[in-house]
Amino acid sequence: MSTSTVSSSGFAAAGSANEWSDVVPKLVSRESAMDEKLVAEKWDAIYRLAGITGSNEKKQRAVRAGVYVYLALNGTSRVGNYSGSIILNDGTEMEAAVIPRALRGDIRRFMRGNMRESYEFFKKSRYMERIPEFVAKVATLTIAAECAFATADWFQDCAEFTPAEKDAYDKNYQHSLHRAKNARGGRSLEEVEGDHRDRELAAQGSSAPKSKSGTSIDW
């Protein structure tokens, strides 16, 4: 028989690990990824905006494949242009603009919710190896063609990765961080955002408290 004592915080200190076995949660969502239910709803929205009606699974898979490739090539930034088009396997043309319209800014979270299926698509189809410009771009980072797909920006912490694929992702990620920092003149993202916030406040004639240096105090 296990015993427990009450700590100063008021919580019982369990005397046996088994006392927790019947309260283990069934599912805990990760904030960085959409849950399956919401992912399914977002795909339905994409199908509808792309003019895909009914429950044609093959057509729907073709749409998903097209979205995966487009986002691997162009990234999942919410401020991307999404002005191109996607030609599906049967010749149907789909506007890339339906992606942000359906997802409303949650593009990377959506793709992280599709991590396993998108990995399976790229791994089995080896489609990204057929795009010379894409393969040549990652080759500058000594990433092999068969690992090129692994540089897609939603694959962080992908449990399916081989060691070579993880290395490919990490190389590209570090390269992207360095490039972004150079574009900001060596400043951190927080500094850039702070300057942007100060300019907005100044433009609005804000009476927010100022520090001695003249910048707004972040309370």
Q: What are the φ and ψ backbone dihedral angles of 138, each rounded to 5 degrees?
A: -75, -20
Per-residue tokens: 85: 């088009």
Torsion of CA 79, 85, 90, 91, to 10 degrees: 180
d(CA 210, CA 189): 21
Q: Which residues of 46-80 are buried (b: 16+ CB within 10 A; e: fewer)?
A: bbeebebeeeeeebbebbbbbbbbbbbebebeeeb
CA distances from 44 to 10, 14, 37, 81 (A): 48, 46, 11, 22
Give the pLDDT confidence score for residue 188 in this predicted structure: 55
Residue 91 Ramachandran class (φ > 0 left, ψ -120 to 50 alpha, else beta): left
pLDDT at 105: 84
What is the predicted pLDDT for the residue at 78? 86
Looking up tokens 């399956």 gives 36
Distances in Å between the Cα of 111 and the Cα atoms of 38, 50, 68, 114, 137 are: 12, 18, 8, 5, 22
Quote the strand ranges of 37-187, DSSP E: 85-87, 93-95
Q: What is the signed CA dihedral for 54, 121, 154, 165, rounded to 10 degrees? A: 180
CA atoms of 25 and 114, how far apart (whole Å):
22
Q: Could you say which residues of the chain have pLDDT below 50?
A: 2, 29, 189, 206-213, 215-219
What pLDDT, on a 0 to 100 scale, did the predictor assign at position 197? 61
pLDDT value of residue 70: 97
Structure tokens at 141: 């980072």
121: left (phi over 0), alpha (psi -120 to 50) or beta: alpha
- Please tell me the predicted confidence (pLDDT) of residue 196: 54
The answer to whether 44 and 60 are in contact (CB under 8 A) is: no
Residue matched to tokens 């540089």: 151
Answer yes or no: are the C-beta atoms of 83 and 96 closer than 8 Å.
yes
